[in-house]
Amino acid sequence: MNIPDDILLMIPGPTNVPPQVLDALGSPSFYHRGAAFKELLEVCTEGLKKVYQTANDVLILTSSGSGAVEAAIVNVLSPGDKVLVIEGGKFGERMKDIAMTFGAEVEVLPVEPGRAADPEVVRRLLSDHKALLFVQNETSTGVRQDADLLAAAAREVGALSVVDTVSSMGGMSIPVDEWGLDAVAAGSQKAFMLPPGLAFVSMSEKAWEAAASARMPRAYFDLVAARKSLAKGQTPWTPNVNMIRALAVSLELIFAEGLENVWRRHHALGEACRAAVDALGLRLFADREHASDVVTAVHSPDGLDSKELVSRVRDNHKILISGGQGELAGKIFRIGHMGCCQLDDLLRTIEATAIELNALGFACAAQEGLAAARAAYQAAMG
């Protein structure tokens, strides 16, 4: 087997994992129905509530992020419920697919990739919908939605907000209670600095009320069962105990840095990446006002298939960036800057990208890109 373990991951997940977290993953396994696990689950649940900025229940699932998205949907809806889904990229499309699979009556608001939904348009469209489904940070396009305004629009008509924050929770401030988000899904392999394999979902009181009568089929992802087990310090099924142990360590690292500082660092990395894109003469894919602080999508220069750039950066510099997904394949490239990412990691990535662009015949000034990134980072860090 040849799994490269010396590659700097600058993709929007999985991200690099700090050594302390790796140590926890390598520790002996242990029993999930004992006092030690109960204590661990309590610590992790309380930590997640701080990250989510919520007094609501936050449940830990052994699955990838999509499991939490599915759980959020199937626990509050019944077949035939009318929902509005905002679709501006790959993950909005996935939310739509999940809702359709389980029999929701899905209305789609298509949004041009790279743009955020206009909350006013959403307000006008919402009527007797049971829920509004949207991705707060659309990883495929690097777009952040105005989740507060979207959730407010849903509330006006009594609809629930079901929100995918898989790539953003932890890296951006998403005050779940203040914004009134009802069911909020996240995943471990992004800003939480863990490998893939755990997912988190918060449920508001309104979401629990909906769960009491929701009839979409569910078994493994039954959150009522998960809540009952949590009260006993357990999970309904055998959880990935090592990952939960590692989650405790990653939360410790987050709180040691300070949540506000973590969010500030991510914002500064976003600013730095955007400044470098400008200075290199490239074009941001996302509408600047809604550009994500955890992943930056960039138009590939005319005539360049971004797959070639991604391969060269990987092979010549041992840095992995992402290409585009679906219709955007070859047309954009994406740099992830989340989790334990530091300015130096981003600078290495900018330099490598600039070197390879030049080698491919697309002239750009690497030093200007680096200087712009440093300056923007310092300005944002204050």
Q: Which tokens belong to 345? A: 């990691």
Cα–Cα distance measured from residue 133 to residue 10, given in angstroms and rounded to the nearest whole number: 28
- Residue 354 CA from chain centroid, whole number: 27
Nearer to ligand PLP, 16 or 137 (CB): 137
As a whole number of angstroms, the distance between CA 339 and CA 169 comes to 10
| String of contacts with ligand PLP for each residue 147-166, x by CB under 6 A | -----------------x-x
Instruction: For residue 36, give the 3-state DSSP assignment.
Output: helix
DSSP 8-state code for residue 52: H
Interface positions, 127-146, toward ligand PLP (CB under 6 A): 135, 137, 139
Q: How far is the CB of 167 from ligand PLP (least distance, A)?
A: 4
Instruction: Give the nearest residue (CB) to ligand PLP.
Output: 65
| CA 331 to chain centroid | 22
CA distances from 249 to 23, 44, 67 (A): 9, 9, 23
Would you say 95 or 298 has its CB closer to ligand PLP?
95
Task: Please list, residue by residue across 247-281, b when 16 or more beta carbons sit within 10 angstroms of its beta carbon and e when fewer do.
Answer: bbbbbebbeeeeeeebbbbbbbbbbbbbbbbbbbe
Least distance between ligand PLP and beta carbon 367 (Å): 32
How far separated are the first and last CA of the chain, in Å rounded? 46
- Closer by beta carbon to ligand PLP, 186 or else 211: 186
Number of residues binding to ligand PLP, judged by CB under 6 A: 14
Shortest Cβ 239–ligand PLP spacing (Å): 16
Q: Which is nearer to ligand PLP, 187 or 369 (CB)?
A: 187
| H or E stretch covering 133 | strand 131-135
> Can residue 65 be called a binding residue for ligand PLP (CB under 6 A)?
yes
- β-sheet bridge partners, residue 297: 334
Binding to ligand PLP by residue 91, rule CB under 6 A? yes
**Strand partners of residue 164:** 135, 185
Nearer to ligand PLP, 13 or 270 (CB): 13
Q: Secondary structure of 276-305 in the HEC alphabet?
A: HHHHCCCCECCCHHHECCCEEEEECCCCCC
Reading the block at residue 301, the tokens are 């220069």
**String of contacts with ligand PLP for each residue 174-203, x by CB under 6 A:** -------------x--------x-------
Nearest approach in angstroms of CB 67 to ligand PLP is: 7
Q: 135 or 151: whose CB is closer to ligand PLP? A: 135
Q: What tokens appear for 10 in the block?
A: 């600058």
Q: Which two tokens stand for residue 131?
A: 């829920």
Closest distance to ligand PLP from the beta carbon of 80 (Å): 25
Residue whose CB is less far from ligand PLP, 89 or 301: 89
Nearer to ligand PLP, 89 or 233 (CB): 89
Q: How far is the CB of 231 from ligand PLP (least distance, A)?
A: 27
User: Could you say which of 64, 78, 229, 358 contacts ligand PLP (CB under 6 A)?
Assistant: 64
The contact set with ligand PLP (CB under 6 A) reads 13, 64-66, 69, 91, 135, 137, 139, 164, 166-167, 187, 196
